[in-house]
Amino acid sequence: MKDAEIHEVVAILREAVQQWQTPAVTIVSQRGGDPFKVLISCILSLRTQDKTTAAASARLFALADTPASMLELPEETIAQAIYPVGFYRTKAGTIRDICATLLSGYDGRVPDDLDELLKLKGVGRKTANLVVTLGFGKPGICVDTHVHRICNRWGYVRTKTPEQTEFALRAKLPLDYWLIINDLLVTFGQNQCTPISPRCSICPLLHLCDRIGVSKSR
């Protein structure tokens, strides 16, 4: 893919993803735009399917939706509420740790700074960037497995890790697309450009994709 073709790619993606479900954490952000809920939903979403994340988030926020009220819940109660998300017991402890840190170090508010977010237990660059973009509407590039895979498959970047992909995209992706690239590619990656045997024969981006690393497709 030529760098200049990214504008056509994004236009096609915006149209294509309308037929599929919006990512769970994005839905949480659209319901009030609370950075705390975005942060906790991000934690729940790690190694967990969207459907499970959405249901677990709803159950947990029905019990508590602020750092202070969350910290009042026993760890076991949180664990039961978020089950069966991946590593639910570990995440229950992480959530309580995050809430304690927010109360002690940030007046109970989620920081809007990437470096500050990275100081929170269990928060990596993917989660921090998603909180910055979805929770605060500030520029950031959230790179998960879908963004990393697809951008390399296109030939738009040539990187080995999601973190390398993030910095490569920061250097070349137009700023207008920073806030939307994750939503577009997560949805596209879950439904069309899948990790194994992507649906290339019916892909609206086939004419723009270098198909790097694709040995089998449908």
What sign has the CA pseudo-torsion 65, 71, 74, 78? positive
Residue 195, φ and ψ in degrees, nearest 5: -60, -45
Catalytic residue positions, numbered: 126, 144
Given a contact cutoff of 8 angstroms between Cβ atoms, the answer to whether 66 and 34 are in contact is no
Given a contact cutoff of 8 angstroms between Cβ atoms, the answer to whether 1 and 210 are in contact is yes
Nearest CA-CA partner of 104 in 68, 57, 79, 140:
68
- Whether the ω angle into residue 84 lies within 30 degrees of 0, i.e. cis, is yes
- Would you say how long the chain is, in residues? 218
Nearest CA-CA partner of 189 in 170, 158, 171, 162:
162
**Euclidean distance between CA atoms 103 and 110, whole angstroms:** 9
Dihedral of CA atoms 197, 162, 85, 75 in degrees, nearest 10, equals 170
3-state SS, residue 124: coil
